[in-house]
């Protein structure tokens, strides 16, 4: 995943001199997560800019540069600290195209790790997918695999609108198989299109980012018990690929959503044979202790239990508690 993001940045910077990267430690230190490794040496300090620890400052500079016609990629060391820059992201970047009647595009990408990692406490563990997905004017992407990371980051950089690109720290070191097509410099994924990672007929499981992997593991467990789960990798949170989700639910008649919300009740209620199950983190600040941290974040077994409930399979009371 780390190499996929790095190669996408490298190729887009090579193809378009208007693309530049800025953020804390992206240059001399090669990136806090080594996503920008080698880019300073290749493109120089005018296009790979180390910034002070002031998200409000460098996000504002990035938005101003986008107004001018450049294509900034702004890295937040964690999206928790994007709250320092929220006025620039929402009031300046997201709304300018509409408020200028289309005269002012803002081609900027805000990227970095989002959601729970491991042992980093409440200040570094919040998932902001639903926050940003509720803001008109933004596009919100969240990759699961190396293919997602490479194809979606390229799409985000090329897009004329502001994009919030939510990565996951725990996925940076994960490896995924990729095809020759994905490695081609012209490879790009469409924004707003989900991917069916696993076909099934009994229950639909939607997820994004790290939770896609959990959903796939849950599907393997369910298969052994005679439940055929379809797993959808959302990829794009805003715009949401409602047609793919609804088509799946109208086939399986059941939905487990491992994320922050669902629109299926509005559009496919008549097809549901069971209530929609929503798997999300506990409604508390993230604990630091490892045992409590695990209990606060959705786990594979939570998805398995929810799928069994939706398919009317008996779940022991102790397991459901």
* Catalytic site residue from 11, 12, 24, 55: 55
| 277-278: strand order across its sheet | 195-198, 229-233, 203-207, 255-258, 277-278
Does residue 301 carry a catalytic annotation?
no
Q: Hey, what's the torsion of the CAs at 255, 256, 262, 264, to 10 degrees? A: 0
Query: Which position among 12, 24, 75, 124 bears the catalytic label?
Result: 124
Torsion of CA 113, 117, 120, 123, to 10 degrees: 50
Dihedral (C-alpha) 173, 177, 180, 184: value to the nearest 10 degrees? -30
Q: Which residues contact 4 (CB under 8 A, 6 or more apart)?
A: 146, 147, 149, 150, 153, 178
The DSSP call for residue 187 is -
Q: Degrees (nearest 5) of the Cα angle 124, 127, 131?
A: 125
Q: Is 124 a catalytic residue?
A: yes
List active site positions.
55, 124
């Amino acid at each position: 995943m780390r190499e996929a993001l790095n190669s996408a940045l490298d190729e887009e910077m090579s193809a378009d001199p208007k693309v530049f990267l800025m953020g804390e430690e992206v240059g001399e230190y090669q990136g806090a997560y080594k996503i920008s490794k080698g880019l300073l040496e290749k493109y120089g300090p005018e296009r790979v800019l180390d910034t002070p620890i002031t998200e409000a400052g460098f996000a504002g500079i990035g938005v101003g540069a986008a107004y001018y016609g450049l294509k900034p990629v702004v890295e937040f060391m964690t999206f928790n600290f994007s709250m320092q820059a929220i006025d620039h992201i929402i009031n300046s970047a997201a709304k300018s195209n509409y408020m200028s009647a289309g005269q002012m595009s803002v081609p900027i990408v805000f990227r970095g790790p989002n959601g729970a990692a491991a042992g980093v406490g409440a200040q570094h563990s919040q998932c902001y997918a639903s926050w940003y997905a509720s803001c008109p004017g933004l596009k919100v992407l969240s990759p699961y695999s190396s293919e997602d990371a490479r194809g979606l980051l390229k799409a985000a950089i090329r897009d004329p609108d502001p994009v919030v690109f939510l990565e996951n720290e725990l996925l940076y070191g994960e490896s995924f198989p990729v095809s020759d097509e994905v490695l081609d410099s012209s490879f790009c994924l469409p924004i707003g299109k989900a991917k069916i990672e696993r076909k099934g007929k009994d229950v639909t499981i939607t997820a994004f980012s790290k939770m896609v992997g959990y959903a796939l593991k849950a599907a393997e467990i369910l298969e052994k018990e005679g439940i055929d789960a379809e797993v959808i990798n959302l990829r794009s949170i805003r715009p949401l690929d409602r047609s793919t989700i609804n088509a799946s639910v109208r086939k399986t008649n059941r939905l487990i959503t491992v994320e922050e919300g669902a629109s299926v009740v509005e559009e496919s209620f008549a097809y549901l044979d069971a209530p929609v199950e929503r798997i999300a983190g506990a409604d508390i600040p993230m604990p630091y202790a490892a045992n409590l941290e695990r209990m606060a974040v959705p786990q594979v077994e939570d998805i398995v239990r929810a799928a069994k409930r939706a398919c009317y399979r008996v779940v022991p009371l102790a397991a459901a508690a």
